Amino acid sequence: MSSVYDCSVVELPRINSPSGNLTPVCSRLQIPFDIARVYYLYDIPGGETRGGHAHRDLQQLIVAASGSFDVLLDDGINKRVVHLNRPYFGLYMPNMIWRELINFSSGGICLVIASRPYDEADYYRDYAEFVTTVRGGQ
């Protein structure tokens, strides 16, 4: 099972120029998976919360492409909070981590790079079911 300590903040490359900066993310270079999907959350009201689920198999890199938010991580035993506020830092998340994205700044954009296509069957949306599963071996 994954641990919240398997989640890591990755510093992404930065190509800076007076006309603006650029950050590339490549499969198997900055992230340990092949990119299957990219999506982004935007027009999020300030202070709003997203997430509230875990994934059976999906791995993700989560980036505050603009603004900031906090990610609450929970592996069913331990919890951690990671603050994201720069487009050149990404939070790598393995599968089987419950997450909530909270405290969105107004105008914040959350960019997600994912290892699999969207599949509702990959989600745990019930926290009690998630905890029962991860603690099942105990």
| Strands in the chain per DSSP E | 8-11, 37-41, 50-55, 60-66, 69-74, 79-84, 89-93, 98-102, 109-114, 123-124
Contact of 105 with 69, CB cutoff 8 Å:
yes
Nearer to ligand TYD, 15 or 121 (CB): 121
Which of positions 23-42 make contact with ligand TYD (CB under 6 A)? 37, 39, 41
Residues 39-78 that bind ligand TYD (CB under 6 A): 39, 41, 50-51, 53
Per CB under 6 A, contacts with ligand TYD among 78-137 are: 118
Residues of this chain that interact with ligand TYD (CB under 6 A) are: 37, 39, 41, 50-51, 53, 118
Which residues are catalytically annotated?
A: 53
